[in-house]
């Protein structure tokens, strides 16, 4: 189990460094990456091992900005509360915020990508109507919800969804996942009688799949945008705290005090 007798299993394609060089994704970091690739492009290269086309890059950024925290979400609040107790550790506060990016709010991006990819694999993309019907029926038969549909706030339409489809058409990256998702939403409405719009995370997952992100990496990819949002929340928290006053209010109310106390 040492390197003398066995094949070395310790290696990574991601990068390496020695005294005078640093390589990332097979490229010399200073001369071929710094000033040449944006962070979004590097993230794509590291995951897919090829550079995105301009159209793919535009879609990648659109997806990432669409899923950065835009309000006082549970994960932004968790990050802010962590800052309240440990202001010296920004990596702790960011980590705490990311830990809430699970099945409820960010999971749907990856779940939708997986669902669409599986349906396409199983039923093909020549008759999307049929593929959608079979995929939706299978979910309903198993008592499961269809990923990518519905939103607790945006009940008529998620404002991000039409923009994702518009950009995808503009950049010629409107592929089988996005097209199937539209049909899935229509089929679901016909079958259930309920209007559940395509949500932003679902459209994002389909869009990422259509630009070549493996579906197993979709959920991780969107975390990059989430980190940016959390860093911004923490910058604001340091200047205009919400965590401390909210905690004091919660504590006050939880111990039974009314306004008059």
Q: Which of residues 16-55 bind its own copies (CB under 8 A)?
A: 16-24, 29-31, 33-35, 37-40, 42-43, 46-47
126 binds its own copies (CB under 8 A): no
CA distances for 2 relative to 7, 11, 12, 16, 96, angstroms: 9, 14, 18, 21, 37
Candidate list 84, 118, 138, 141; residue touching its own copies; CB under 8 A: 84
Q: Identify residues 60-79 at the interface with its own copies (CB under 8 A).
A: 61-62, 64-66, 68-79
Q: Quick one: 40 or 131, whose CB is closer to its own copies?
A: 40
- Which ranges in the chain belong to alpha helices (H)? 39-48, 54-66, 74-85, 90-99, 107-123, 128-141, 160-170, 176-192, 200-210, 215-239, 243-254
Residue 63 CA to its chain's centroid (Å):
8
Q: Which stretch binds its own copies (CB under 8 A): 59-67, 114-122, 172-180, 181-189?
A: 59-67
217 binds its own copies (CB under 8 A): yes
Q: Identify residues 164-183 at the interface with its own copies (CB under 8 A).
A: 164, 166-167, 170
112 binds its own copies (CB under 8 A): no
243 binds its own copies (CB under 8 A): yes
Q: At which residue do the structure tokens 């994704």 appear?
A: 25
Q: Which stretch binds its own copies (CB under 8 A): 119-127, 129-137, 173-181, 239-247?
A: 239-247
Q: CB 130 → its own copies: shortest distance, Å?
A: 27
Q: How far apart are CA 183 and CA 2, in angstroms?
A: 54
Q: Quick one: 62 or 120, whose CB is closer to its own copies?
A: 62
Give every CB contact of residue 86 below 8 A, 6+ residues apart in sequence.
92, 93
Sign of the Cα torsion 47, 173, 144, 73 reads positive
Q: Identify residues 177-216 at the interface with its own copies (CB under 8 A).
A: 214, 216
Whether residue 52 contacts residue 74, with contact meaning beta carbons closer than 8 Å, is answered with: no
Q: CB 243 → its own copies: shortest distance, Å?
A: 6
150 binds its own copies (CB under 8 A): no
């Amino acid at each position: 189990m040492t390197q003398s007798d066995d094949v070395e299993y310790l290696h990574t394609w991601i990068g390496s460094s020695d005294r005078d060089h640093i390589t990332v994704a097979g490229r010399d970091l200073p001369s071929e990456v710094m000033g040449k690739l944006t962070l979004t492009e590097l993230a794509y290269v590291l995951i897919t091992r090829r550079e995105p086309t301009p159209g793919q890059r535009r879609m990648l950024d659109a997806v990432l900005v669409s899923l950065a925290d835009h309000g006082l979400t549970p994960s932004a609040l968790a990050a802010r509360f962590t800052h309240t107790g440990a202001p010296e550790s920004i990596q702790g506060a960011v980590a705490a915020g990311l830990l809430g990016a699970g099945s409820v709010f960010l999971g749907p991006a990856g779940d939708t990508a997986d669902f669409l990819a599986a349906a396409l694999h199983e039923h093909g993309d020549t008759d999307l109507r049929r593929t959608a019907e079979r995929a939706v029926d299978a979910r309903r038969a198993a008592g499961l919800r269809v990923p990518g549909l519905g939103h607790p706030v945006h009940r008529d339409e998620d404002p991000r969804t039409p923009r994702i489809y518009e950009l995808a058409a503009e950049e010629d990256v409107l592929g089988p996942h996005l097209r199937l998702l539209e049909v899935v939403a229509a089929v679901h409405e016909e079958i259930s009688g309920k209007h559940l719009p395509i949500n932003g995370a679902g459209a994002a997952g389909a869009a990422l799949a259509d630009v070549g992100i493996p579906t197993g990496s979709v959920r991780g990819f969107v975390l990059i945008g989430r980190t940016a949002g959390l860093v911004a929340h923490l910058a604001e928290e340091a200047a205009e705290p919400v965590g401390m006053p909210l905690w004091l209010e919660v504590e006050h109310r939880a111990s039974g005090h009314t306004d008059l106390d």
